[in-house]
């Protein structure tokens, strides 16, 4: 399933690749802090640990990139509930996201940026007594790219991911006319830092 989602994301980006000559490939590593997920019957604590992955960014203009992101952390989950004692299991947390980045090019060397993305996250327990869990996810990130040359640089980033636990839709009719709204719900925020090498392919803006 994970491979299928990545392949589908690459296929979706092919039209952008056909219209541009700028692609950045960034393998990265870093650290994600611990966080707690609250539910009806208890809570799950995901311990902080190292994270790693990769990103492909396709420049559709000088200032905007379309991104495919894979981020993984192999850590431990602690389950606590009202009807059972504390349980613990090694778990793999896998984010597969697609989004965009807005670049603010200060000069040819330094480029601060801000990005947003959506996708899915897989929580994969490595012990048989627990089941896999898939959720929609959203994320934001920001940082700076520093280029050593036209082809190679480093990328320093802070990021935040939110697994979506629920969503709602509301509709209201009043004196000012009808209105609608959509809300997303999450009790867990995963915050971390990463750094990686940037490899530029094709044309340099």
pLDDT at 181: 43
pLDDT at 177: 47
pLDDT at 105: 83
- Separation CA 166–CA 174 (nearest Å): 27
Cβ neighbours of 19 (radius 10 Å) = 9
- Separation CA 43–CA 37 (nearest Å): 5
Across the chain, which has 205 residues, the per-10-residue mean pLDDT values are 54 54 91 84 85 93 92 89 71 94 89 95 81 88 93 95 66 47 61 95 73
pLDDT at 173: 47
Residue 4 has phi, psi (to 5 degrees) of -60, -40
Sign (positive or negative) of CA dihedral 199, 163, 120, 66: negative
- Separation CA 132–CA 94 (nearest Å): 11
CATH of segment(s) 2-202: 2.40.160.20
pLDDT at 36: 85
Q: Indicate yes or no: pTM above 0.85.
A: no
């Amino acid at each position: 399933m994970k491979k299928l989602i990545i392949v589908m994301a690459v296929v979706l980006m092919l039209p952008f690749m056909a219209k541009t000559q700028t692609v950045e490939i960034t393998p990265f590593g870093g650290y994600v802090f611990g966080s707690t997920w609250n539910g009806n019957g208890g809570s799950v604590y995901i311990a902080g640990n190292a994270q790693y992955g990769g990103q492909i960014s396709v420049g559709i203009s000088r200032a905007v990139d379309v991104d495919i992101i894979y981020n993984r952390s192999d850590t431990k989950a602690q389950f606590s509930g009202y009807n059972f004692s504390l349980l613990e299991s090694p778990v793999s947390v896998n984010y597969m996201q697609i989004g965009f980045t807005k670049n603010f090019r200060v000069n040819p060397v330094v480029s601060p940026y801000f990005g947003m993305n959506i996708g899915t996250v897989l929580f994969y327990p490595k012990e048989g007594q627990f089941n896999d869990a898939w959720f929609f996810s959203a994320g934001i990130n920001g940082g700076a790219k520093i280029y050593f040359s036209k082809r190679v640089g480093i990328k320093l980033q802070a990021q935040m991911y939110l697994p979506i636990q629920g969503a709602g839709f509301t509709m209201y009719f009043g004196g000012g006319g009808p209105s609608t709204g959509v809300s997303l719900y999450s009790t867990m925020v995963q915050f971390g830092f990463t750094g990686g090498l940037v490899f530029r392919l094709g044309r340099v803006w």
